[in-house]
Structure 1
């Protein structure tokens, strides 16, 4: 199976529940860079995680603004 993205780099994973995890990737499509944050579901048939339609793709030109918003999150 070929990937939708021209290139992708996995930056990290976060557990969501016992059957899903969130993958954070830096991706490129048609020469444009994005941050893709997507839920992946576990497929026991082939023991792998597969992408779902649940996610968001953020253009890299707004990443600085996203970082600023995240820094303001109160823990």
Structure 2
């Protein structure tokens, strides 16, 4: 959506298609970190949990033109 801002384009979400699992379940993103840095992983996970539970993550998303419900992507999973 950001790259099309100000252009006369219509962006629509694709309808779910069972053959493409990423279209059925919400996408998730990651923060690449050095292997073995469990203290860093724990700190980032805790910070994200605070942002999510306080509603701040939803505010950040909507302020950038995204849907607030994207803050709740479910349990971690690998989408194939």
| Superposed pair shares fold, TM > 0.5 | no
The answer to which structure, 1 or 2, has the higher relative contact order (CA under 8 A, 6+ apart) is 2
- TM-score band, normalised by the shorter chain? under 0.3
**TM-score, normalised by the number of residues in structure 2:** 0.20
Instruction: Judging by fraction of residues, say which structure has more strand.
Output: 1
Structure having the larger proportion of residues in helix: 2
TM-score (norm 1): 0.21
Structure of greater Rg: 2
